[in-house]
Amino acid sequence: MFPMLDFDRADLVQPGGHSVPDGLGPRLSLYFLDRPAGDHGPAQRLRVMLATNGTDGEPRGTIFFSPGRTEFIEKYLETVDSLTQRGFWVVIMDPRGQGLSGRILEDRLRSYVETFQDYADDLGWICDTLAPHCPKPFIAMGHSMGGTIVLHAVLSATLSPSAVICSAPMLGLVDVDNGLMRSGIRALSALGLSKSNLPFQKQRGGLPVAFADNKLTSDRDRYRRWASFFQDTPRLRVGEPTFGWIAAALNSMAFINRNAPQLGIPGLMVAAGGDQIVDPASIEQFAMKSGCDFHVVPGAKHELFLERDVMRNEFLGVIDRFLEEQAL
Question: What is the pLDDT at residue 177?
Answer: 67
- Write down the pLDDT at residue 18: 73
Neighbours of 3 (CB within 10 A): 9
Amino acid 247: pLDDT: 93
Helix (H, G, I), strand (E, B) or coil at 204: strand
Residue 35: its pLDDT value, please?
93
The CA-atom distances, in angstroms, between 322 and each of 63, 77, 141, 161, 270 are 14, 22, 13, 15, 11
Residue 235 domain flag: yes
Angle of CA points 55, 57, 62, to nearest 5°: 70
Per-residue confidence in pLDDT tens, the chain, 328 aa: 555 678 899 999 987 667 799 899 999 999 999 999 887 778 899 999 999 999 999 999 999 999 999 999 999 999 999 999 999 999 999 999 999 999 999 999 999 999 999 999 999 999 999 999 999 999 999 999 999 999 999 999 999 999 999 999 999 999 876 777 777 788 877 888 788 887 767 677 899 999 999 999 999 999 999 999 999 999 999 999 999 999 999 999 999 999 999 999 999 999 999 999 999 999 999 999 999 999 999 999 999 999 999 999 999 999 999 999 999 9
Give the predicted TM-score (pTM) of the model. 0.95
The pLDDT, as a whole number, for residue 279 is 96
Q: Which residue from 27, 7, 151 is spatially nearest to 88, judged by alpha carbons?
A: 27
- 156, 262 in Cβ contact below 8 A? no
CATH of the domain at 175: 3.40.50.1820
Output the pLDDT for position 188.
77
CA torsion sign for 206, 245, 68, 9 is: negative
pLDDT score at 182:
78
Instruction: Tell me which residue range forms the domain holding 41.
Output: 8-325
Report the C-alpha dihedral over residues 148, 154, 155, 157, rounded to 10 degrees.
140
Establish if 233 belongs to a structural domain.
yes
Reduce the DSSP state of residue 64 to 3 states and report it. Answer: strand
**8 Å CB contact between 70 and 98:** yes
The pLDDT score that the predictor gives to residue 176 is 79
Asked whether residue 185 is assigned to any structural domain, the reply reads yes
Supply the pLDDT for residue 42: 86
Name the domain count of the chain. 1
Is residue 160 in some structural domain?
yes
Whole-number pLDDT of residue 309: 98
Residue 182 lies in a domain: yes
Residue at 1 is within a domain? no
Q: Is residue 48 part of a domain?
A: yes
- Decide if 72 contacts 98 (C-beta within 8 A): yes
The answer to whether residue 3 is domain-embedded is no
Give the number of C-alpha atoms closer than 13 A to the C-alpha of residue 275, restricted to the C-beta side. 27
